[in-house]
């Protein structure tokens, strides 16, 4: 399917933008109970830090600003979330509810290695 080769930069940018957009809403949910209520009670120090990384990090990744360091921090946050929240419930992500954390972790790791790409505000992609 070599005809898709000419769209690599655009699809990568769409992956970065959509991943950042989806990520920021996890922080909005924790901080503002929006667009739906956060079901796990009041925030502690760890969930407050995660919410800040999700909200601010997701916004910056979506915009392509400070992309590499923010994506690296976000990737680590999702690795911690997986091991602290999900892994103890069951070995398989499908059974422990950790699929989203795993996907965010590796998507953000990819973004950290590639930078903003096109349609990002970073000058050095």
Number of independent structural domains in the chain? 1
Provide the residue range defining the domain that includes 43.
19-114
Say how many C-beta atoms besides its own lie within 10 A of residue 51's C-beta: 19
Residue 125 lies in a domain: no
Residue 121 lies in a domain: no
Residue 5 lies in a domain: no
pLDDT at position 1 is 87
Average pLDDT, the chain: 96
pLDDT tens, position by position, 32-91:
999 999 999 899 999 999 999 999 999 999 999 999 999 999 999 999 999 999 999 999
Residue 99 lies in a domain: yes
pLDDT at position 124 is 65
Residue 36 lies in a domain: yes
Residue 62 lies in a domain: yes
Residue 33 lies in a domain: yes
**Closest to 53 in 3D by CA, of 34, 85, 75, 68:** 75
pLDDT at position 125 is 53
């Amino acid at each position: 399917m070599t005809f898709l080769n000419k769209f690599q930069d655009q699809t990568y940018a769409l992956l970065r933008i959509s991943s950042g957009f989806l990520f920021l809403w996890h922080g909005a949910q924790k901080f503002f109970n929006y667009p739906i209520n956060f079901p796990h009670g009041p925030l502690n120090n760890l969930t407050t830090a995660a919410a800040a990384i999700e909200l601010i990090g997701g916004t910056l990744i979506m915009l392509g600003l400070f992309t590499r360091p923010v994506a690296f921090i976000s990737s680590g946050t999702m690795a911690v979330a997986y091991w602290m929240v999900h892994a103890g419930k069951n070995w398989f992500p499908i059974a422990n509810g950790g699929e989203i954390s795993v996907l965010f972790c590796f998507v953000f790791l990819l973004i950290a290695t590639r930078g903003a790409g096109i349609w990002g505000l970073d000058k050095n992609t």
